[in-house]
Amino acid sequence: QVQLVESGGGLVQAGGSLRLSCAASGRTFSMFSMGWFHQAPGKEREFVAAISWSGRNTYYADSVKGRFTISRDNAKNTVYLQMNNLKPEDTAVYYCAAAITYNTGRVFGPTDEYNYWGQGTQVTVSS
């Protein structure tokens, strides 16, 4: 079993920045490809970004390219989402997710199956 705990959410003005963290425990962290998703009120959960086991490969939703950066520190069992130039439409609950893989370079995209999910952290961007 794997536990994922997100942190770093909060209230920020448009144009501001936040860094989300997702700490994993319970299993070897480096065996997971990791992803971030978000869900706004009344909407379905959407893919934001993903990173491979090795950390060398990343994948972003078009809406966040150039503004968000996903990274990971396997020594700390933590994945990060640096969010810059935030917009009101980024307001949502942000979830991290883990996908078991033995392929160090594989990135799991929006339609791939993720095995574990965190509880989410709220991000609110005011205009």
What is the pLDDT confidence band of residue 39, given thresholds at 50, 70 and 90?
very high
Q: Report pLDDT digits (tens) over 50-108.
A: 999 999 999 999 999 999 999 999 999 999 999 999 999 999 999 999 998 888 899 99
Can you name the residues that pair with 50 across neighbouring β-strands?
A: 35, 59
In the block, which residue shows the tokens 């989300």?
A: 20
Contact in structure between 24 and 3 (CB atoms under 8 Å): yes
pLDDT value for 21: 98
Burial class (CB in 10 A: 0-12, 13-18, 19+), 111: exposed
Residues 35-58, mean pLDDT to the nearest whole number: 96
Residues 6+ apart with CB under 8 A from 44: none
DSSP, collapsed to helix, strand or coil, labels residue 75 as: helix
Give the separation between CA 46 and CA 122, rounded to whole angstroms.
14
